[in-house]
Amino acid sequence: MAEVRSTADRAEVHAVGKEAAVATAPVWSVDPRTGKPREQVAQEATAEEVDLAVRGAHAARAALADRTTRAALLRRAADLLDGASEYVIEAADAETALGPVRLTGELARTTAQLRAFAEVVDEGAFLDVYIDHVDAERTPPWPDLRRYKVPLGVVAVYSASNFPLAFSVPGGDTASALAAGCPVVVKAHPDHPATSELCASVLRRAAAEVGLDENVITLVHGFDAGVELIRHPLVTAAGFTGSVRGGRALFDAAATRPTPIPFHGELGSLNPVVVTEAAAAERAEQIGTGLAGSMSLGVGQFCTKPGFVLAPAGEPGDRLLKTLTAAVSETEPGVMLDHRMRDAFVAGVAERAALPGVDAPITPGAGGEHTVSAGFLTLPAALLAAEGPHDLLLEECFGPVTVVARYTSADEVTGVLSRLPGNLTATLQIAEEEGTGALPGGAELLAALTPLAGRVLVNGWPTGVAVAPAQQHGGPYPATTSTSTSVGTTAIERWLRPVSYQSTPEALLPPELRDDNPLDVPRRVDGRREN
Amino acid sequence: MAEVRSTADRAEVHAVGKEAAVATAPVWSVDPRTGKPREQVAQEATAEEVDLAVRGAHAARAALADRTTRAALLRRAADLLDGASEYVIEAADAETALGPVRLTGELARTTAQLRAFAEVVDEGAFLDVYIDHVDAERTPPWPDLRRYKVPLGVVAVYSASNFPLAFSVPGGDTASALAAGCPVVVKAHPDHPATSELCASVLRRAAAEVGLDENVITLVHGFDAGVELIRHPLVTAAGFTGSVRGGRALFDAAATRPTPIPFHGELGSLNPVVVTEAAAAERAEQIGTGLAGSMSLGVGQFCTKPGFVLAPAGEPGDRLLKTLTAAVSETEPGVMLDHRMRDAFVAGVAERAALPGVDAPITPGAGGEHTVSAGFLTLPAALLAAEGPHDLLLEECFGPVTVVARYTSADEVTGVLSRLPGNLTATLQIAEEEGTGALPGGAELLAALTPLAGRVLVNGWPTGVAVAPAQQHGGPYPATTSTSTSVGTTAIERWLRPVSYQSTPEALLPPELRDDNPLDVPRRVDGRREN
């Protein structure tokens, strides 16, 4: 299915831009369990092909204006993906080694997300409708004003390595952009091109089945294609999930365009954890085991992996580390998403472990020819009090490793927290009496963690991001380049802008703004809430 | 009052950074009616003074956390400004020549805006509270999640030349940032430094009177100080109203920081007007008179001035131009905000009028030693069909001039519209029967104008921006560098970011997120709206 689409598109491109045809690199699907190529999936897109994809998406945007059709598209896409689950999970596992259990869960999450956005579209609260009728009593008088939000236009989506479904072609960025009424051009991640092609073809089929132009969603491959995409004049916004380096380069390209566009990137996150003395005294073993599970889950390849822990010096902290050591040493070596990442992990760990004062109770590293093993590093928190070589420990290291800094005073905790960059999550491990307020300090620690992250957890672990309306997956830079990303209902806001209509006759207004509210959307009319 | 504050601050700076003291330029208040300096108001701020201002604001941010106090600050500021109206209007008129009538209206608008944001703060809908309780039935189960929006931190505000009050120190950017809980450092516009000092001292007094640290609002002067400000690590966002050139330079500085920050700039806008043939046939004279009034209002110094008009060729269009000519020729010469602007206007008009095919039925230009006279240019719309030297006519020319392009077909209208940059407003002049749908075309034209602007008007004029909840003052680049600016309730959203709390004990949660909703804010709880 994927090949057919690709060939058809290519034929069209050649018809359009024959003279400009350029030989591009083939795109291979690679097995991370062996490092060996599986099959050639496509070619990297040329500049002409990117242009064709964007123009096709732009031309398809009017078809997305109808909210009923958009909701149908999202639900149909979810149904078709569920129907193709066997093939999708097989392709994704072959390319990512994430395993069928995890991928089954990820697909369920992905289709739930598509359906959740269909509900958001149906309800229409995201349109943020305000109506103020003429008010002649005001000085100066108010004219009739009616505001709602309109889609920005074509959205570029850069998919993630570590979530081939939920943060890739059919993921939150795509779902929220389509929900907003924006056509999407996805730049596939090179770690799972076959899965990307398969998912794109499913989404395009869903579009066709609900009567939409299938160019509301298109896929391109290749690094250069990604750069062309962000620079294309008809692209109006972008979503990205990946590294600080790659994300920042694309952010810079978006900001330096003649017409700059918003770039919503999820880049890197340390996800600090603070364990209070009382918490360690209360349940050192439980915290140690929980930490081991969260930092090694999915071979440490979650953007929410707890990568930095402030744990107390002294006996309870020692017990925590003892349990952590035991639990981590029982972790099986795992296959990372690709060999480049594996090499970066091994090198990153070695560089960190070599810093003075850093110990490695269990050295994480190469666990075999194609695998890595989990581990952790420890150091006195005092070494992080001021700028220096140890700042490397405050940067994300992708893979199954965490850094435990041992503190001896509350001031040391405050000092290190003030030096941390922005994060997706920040976690507080406190004792029961700190949570009830019977022991002081809990509220202050929560207040100290809030400026650091988009999600703050108490006595839980940050891996696992529930797709709930109150969810928020974002945080200060470099966690994100904007305030929020692709999970939760705030995701749709990124692809919209407000427009007010002044003194516009009823007959010309969009139905959402007409007095009789024929589509029954929630609104604020003359200051009062309707629905 | 202004001098006292300035001296006190300066003493503190010298104590802090004595060795680094640098001689900076004096800041003069200038009378635009004569071009002569009135008084020295301050010195331009040094890098050390900017740092001091930002650190002072940063330290004051905790004091702004209480919403009741924030609302009190906004109301007290409005009351004090109203109480000082005589002095404020006198200072503003002396520096801007905008006249007491206009400035009385602008002050009323400014204080109304401060009070409107106090209501927004009291109500709390902007907090966007979502609560999802534990849901064990989900796969995977949902933890307890509670989300609201928190202030970003210190906001930098760059004030406008043409609104010394409503878009300057006490204007919409400041009001919305304080409403969001963000302390503000304002960079004064050099056209009205004395008014800026006076307003800043009033705002600081209001802060002190409601028990807040007065550093929640600080003022700095000077171009270099403005650049220092946008680069300061503790500045988290910026609002700007000004030129494309200045705004883009600051946008670039914001985007290239190690930690990039959002920059909400209102830059330049052409504010196109489309007059249908039927509209011209129905009321050519009324449209001509209305256009003359709107384009020359305030000496053409509104960001919403209609600077480009598509009018039909033929007899009804001729009648429109005849009335426009008559009305514009009756306009008195006016004083612009400063002599640099006057020179730029005269040069800009001359450059445009010299283009082949461009006529100037009334040449706008220097109307006297210190004044300018209104006028307009005409050309066939066909000259704008493709890229070329006439594209200069599609750029804003600040001052009392508009460009009337005469079209001969609907295709010409569509073609020119497709070449326009983003705008704050777009206006449609249609006949009554086009508004009722009895004649076709109205809805299509409205749809064609919507992508071009943040506000679309029918049979009105874009100058005059009502401060109503449904208002929206923004639009695609270069009208703004983001989707919305400082007018209307969307303004507050720019200074906030969402944070979710996961599994957090009631005793530690902010009151807005507790189950019993002690502050009675509107919320979504388990999908249902509360309040």
Residue A95 reports pLDDT greater than 60: yes
pLDDT digits (tens, 9 = 90+) for B280-304: 999 999 999 999 999 999 999 999 9
Q: Average pLDDT in the B199-203 region?
A: 98
Residue A120 reports pLDDT greater than 80: yes
Q: Which of A201, A234, A254 is nearest to A55 (CA)?
A: A234
Contacts of B116 (CB under 8 A, 6+ apart): B467
Q: Average pLDDT in the A479-491 region?
A: 83
* Residues of each domain in chain A carrying CATH 3.40.605.10: 2-13+44-123+151-267+485-494
* Residues of each domain in chain B carrying CATH 3.40.605.10: 2-123+151-267+485-494
Contacts of A493 (CB under 8 A, 6+ apart): A126, A484
- Window 71-130 of B: residues touching A by CB (8 A cutoff) are 105, 108, 128, 130
Q: In which band, very low, low, confident or very high, does the pLDDT at A177 lie, cut at 50, 70 and 90?
A: very high
The pair of three-digit structure tokens given for residue B69, joined into one six-digit string: 């106090």
Single pTM value for the model: 0.93
Q: What CATH superfamily classification does B272-458 receive?
A: Aldehyde Dehydrogenase; Chain A, domain 2 (3.40.309.10)
pLDDT at position A22: 60
Query: Distance of CA A443 to CAs A241, A461, B506, Å?
Result: 32, 19, 10
Contact list in B for residue A183 (CB cut-off 8 A) is none
User: Which residues face B155 on adjacent strands?
Assistant: B184, B237
User: Which residues face B26 on adjacent strands?
Assistant: B43
Given 3.60.20.10, 3.40.1030.10, 3.40.605.10, 3.40.640.10, which CATH number is that of A2-13+44-123+151-267+485-494?
A: 3.40.605.10
Mean pLDDT of the residues in chain B: 93
Whether the CB-CB separation of A411 and A332 falls below 8 Å is answered with: no
Q: Average pLDDT in the B349-360 region?
A: 97
d(CA A147, CA A152): 15
- Residue A39 region by backbone torsions, left for phi larger than 0, else alpha for psi between -120 and 50, else beta: beta
Q: How far apart are the first and last CA of chain B?
A: 44
Q: Average pLDDT in the A491-501 region?
A: 95
Q: In which band, very low, low, confident or very high, does the pLDDT at B22 lie, cut at 50, 70 and 90?
A: low
Residue B199 is a catalytic residue: no
pLDDT at position B490: 78
Residue B118 reports pLDDT greater than 60: yes
Contact list in A for residue B469 (CB cut-off 8 A) is 130, 132, 524, 527
Q: A100-123 and A67-83 are packed helices; what angle lies between their axes, rounded to 10 degrees?
A: 160
The pair of three-digit structure tokens given for residue B206, joined into one six-digit string: 């209001």
Q: Average pLDDT in the B475-492 region?
A: 87
Whether the CB-CB separation of A506 and A514 falls below 8 Å is answered with: yes
pLDDT at position B453: 97
Residue A5 reports pLDDT greater than 60: no
Q: Looking at the complex, does the CB of residue B137 fall below 8 Å from at least one CB of chain A?
A: no
Reported as type and span, the H/E element at residue B496 is strand B496-502
CA max distance for chain A = 78
Assigned CATH class of B2-123+151-267+485-494: alpha beta
Test mutation, B499, B525, B529, chain A, max A CBs within 10 A: B499
Catalytic site residue from B44, B49, B228, B266: B266
* Residues of each domain in chain A carrying CATH 3.40.309.10: 272-458
The pair of three-digit structure tokens given for residue A169, joined into one six-digit string: 């072609």
Contact list in B for residue A502 (CB cut-off 8 A) is 455-458, 460
Which residue in A has a C-alpha nearest to residue B491's C-alpha? A498
Helices (H) and strands (E) in chain B, counts: 15, 22
Contacts of B458 (CB under 8 A, 6+ apart): A501, A502, A503, A504, A505, A508, B427, B428, B429, B430, B435, B446
User: Which residues face A359 on adjacent strands?
Assistant: A378
Q: Average pLDDT in the B414-430 region?
A: 97
The shortest C-alpha distance from A359 to chain B (Å) reads 31
Q: Looking at the complex, does the CB of residue A530 fall below 8 Å from at least one CB of chain B?
A: no
Q: Average pLDDT in the A47-66 region?
A: 96
Q: Say if the Cβ atoms of B446 and A498 lie within 8 Å.
A: no
Q: Average pLDDT in the B211-226 region?
A: 97
Q: Looking at the complex, does the CB of residue A264 fall below 8 Å from at least one CB of chain B?
A: no
Q: How far apart are the first and last CA of chain A?
A: 44
Cβ neighbours around B19 below 10 Å, total: 5
Q: Looking at the complex, does the CB of residue B466 fall below 8 Å from at least one CB of chain A?
A: yes
Residue A19 reports pLDDT greater than 90: no
Catalytic site residue from B48, B228, B277, B303: B303
pLDDT at position A23: 74
pLDDT digits (tens, 9 = 90+) for A290-345: 999 999 999 999 999 999 999 999 999 999 999 999 999 999 999 999 999 999 99
pLDDT digits (tens, 9 = 90+) for A373-407: 999 999 999 999 999 999 999 999 999 999 999 99
Q: In which band, very low, low, confident or very high, does the pLDDT at B18 lie, cut at 50, 70 and 90?
A: very low
Q: Which of B132, B142, B125, B179 is nearest to B523 (CA)?
A: B125
Contact list in B for residue A141 (CB cut-off 8 A) is 466
Contact list in A for residue B143 (CB cut-off 8 A) is 460, 466
Q: Average pLDDT in the A363-369 region?
A: 84
**Percent of chain B scoring above 70 in pLDDT:** 96
Q: Looking at the complex, does the CB of residue B150 fall below 8 Å from at least one CB of chain A?
A: yes
Residue A86 is a catalytic residue: no
pLDDT at position A68: 96
Q: Write down the residue that tokens 């979650």 correspond to.
A: A302
Mean pLDDT of the residues in chain A: 93
pLDDT at position A7: 34
Catalytic site residue from A303, A397, A434, A512: A303
The pair of three-digit structure tokens given for residue A41, joined into one six-digit string: 């999936």
Residue B407 reports pLDDT greater than 90: yes
Q: Looking at the complex, does the CB of residue B252 fall below 8 Å from at least one CB of chain A?
A: yes
